[in-house]
Amino acid sequence: MRHFRYTILLVFVYILSACATLSPEFEQPQVNITSFNLAPQSTASTPTFLIGLQVINPNRSALPLKGMSYSVEVDGYRILSGAEPDLPRVADYDTEEFTIRAVPDLLGSAKLISQLMSNNKDSFDYRFKARLDVGSLLPFIDIEEAGTFNLKKPASSR
């Protein structure tokens, strides 16, 4: 019984030390979209997009990426989504680049096209959301990038 208590105590101390790595010093990794291409046609009838991503780890411990889920929204309509398993490990203070596959959300895309046809807009809001899985002892890392595409030509200055 004494060995059981000692083992439980060691497990508890190990879990607390793992939680200590999630200190306020942990800085959110940055995800940049580096490329966006239509994948070569496969046997599937739905087009697939290849999205190049760059993950920057600003922390002193590596990020062992297990996988991620992601979506791209334009004006509040989800137009692309997907999930990717077995991503590379991002070393401490390092950058890793890889490609993910995304499939279009036909309903969201149809709603966006309908809105585009009914309104003459000069700009569109976009949002990229990703949830990185870094293992069972660490929480998910949620990343969100948002901005606006401006289609209107800037006024020329003379």
pTM more than 0.75: no
Q: Of 2.60.40.1820, 3.40.50.300, 2.60.40.10, 1.10.540.10, which CATH number belongs to 25-150? A: 2.60.40.1820
Task: Phi first, then psi: give them for residue 19, nearest 5 degrees.
Answer: -70, -25
Residue positions counted in the chain: 158
pLDDT for 9-48, tens place per residue? Answer: 666 666 655 554 555 577 888 888 888 888 887 556 778 8
Q: pLDDT value at position 20?
A: 47
Question: Strand order of the sheet with strand 94-104?
Answer: 30-38, 49-57, 94-104, 77-85, 67-74, 123-133, 141-150
Residue carrying the six token digits 């137009």: 79
For residue 60, what are the contacts with CB-CB under 8 A and spacing of at least 6?
A: 92, 93
CA distance 109 to 80: 8
Query: Which range has the worst mean pLDDT, 12-21, 59-68, 128-137?
Result: 12-21
Task: Phi first, then psi: give them for residue 112, nearest 5 degrees.
Answer: -65, -45
What is the DSSP secondary structure assignment for residue 13, as one 8-state letter? H
Tokens of residue 43, six digits: 């046997």
Tokens of residue 145, six digits: 């990038």
- Nearest Cα to Cα of residue 124 among 155, 147, 144, 154: 147
| Mean pLDDT score of the chain | 80
